[in-house]
A = this chain, B = another copy of it.
Amino acid sequence: MNNNYELYKVFYWAAKTGSLTQAAKTLFLTQPSVSHAIKQLEDSIGLTLFYRNSKGVALTQEGAILYSYIEQSHILITLAEEKMAALKTLESGDLRIGGSDSLFKHYLLPYLEDFHLKYPGVKLHLNHGTTPEVISFLKEGRIDLGVVRMPIVDPQLQVRESFLLQDCFVAGAAYAELKDKVLSLDTLLQYPVILFSRNSRARMTITEIFQSYGYTIKPEIEVGSVDLLIEFARRGLGISYVTREFVSKELEEGSLFEVRLDVPLPPSHVGIMTMRNMPLTSAAIRFIELIG
């Protein structure tokens, strides 16, 4: 017995409606097709499943036993189809994003809020980590997409450039004398510099920039979060290297000002990473469109 499952669908409706004619209407078939399908099923099983009379059909004992199984099976398939539809329309599902805390807080938050309002059925899972950690999350399949600073070079990953971010040095009132100056790199190095402690993209970038000009940047203070970078700068503990967009509020209100340099600091994109050649969930696709 290696039946075409389609026959069970026909059987289900014939049994449920008690009529081959009704089943045919439900399935958009003709009555002879249904009659034929039922006969096929009966032949392959080797048992009579229905008795027929001029009012329709009724299950035999054995047909009723079969129905008790097929009914359950049909319910599951129906649930599955409903679930799939829900996943497709984002009434349901999961979206798992990896990234740094600061990107979540300063850059992704509005998008996350927006997405959650539009698709409240989709559960959001945020996993923070450094860029290499996020990449391994992706490769392990623990997240659907990663949001990190460019550049990323990994043949397994597909990276979409998103928002442009500009890092810069900022200071607070304690260094007000620098407000209208344009500093050279070696001048800057005479001031205490506050850098992000972890192996972040930004930390690597600024180190490389100084090296390319023949200097070595050594922070006076290292801190573990962007919030502390900002806070320390405000309190006059030094000059922090931060992403300008993350301190826009402080720059506006004047609690921080940008320390300009005589060399350009290259901007960097936020990259949306996904696994190359791996299909995305509907939720992930939609979220990336949203950021787009």
Q: Which residues of A contact B (CB under 8 A)?
A: 1-6, 8-9, 28, 45-48, 51, 53, 60-62, 65-66, 69-70, 72-74, 76-77, 79-81, 83-85, 87-88, 93-94, 144, 277-282
Contact = CB atoms under 8 A, between A and B. Distances in A.
Contact of A72 (B76, B277, B282): B76
B282 A62 contact: yes
Given A62-B84, A73-B80, A278 B51 contact: yes
B53 A277 contact: yes
A81 B281 contact: no
Contacts of A281: 60-62
A45 B81 CA distance: 8
Nearest to A84: B45
B5 A45 contact: no
A93 B80 CA distance: 32
B6 A47 contact: no
A28 B2 CA distance: 10
26 contacts: A1-B84, A2-B28, A3-B81, A5-B5, A5-B8, A5-B77, A45-B81, A45-B85, A46-B84, A47-B88, A47-B282, A51-B279, A60-B281, A61-B94, A62-B87, A62-B282, A65-B83, A66-B84, A69-B77, A69-B83, A70-B76, A70-B77, A70-B80, A72-B76, A73-B77, A73-B80
A88 B65 CA distance: 12
A-B interface, 3 closest residue pairs, ranked by CB to CB distance from nearest: A69-B80, A48-B279, A5-B5
A216 B76 CA distance: 69
A62 B95 CA distance: 11
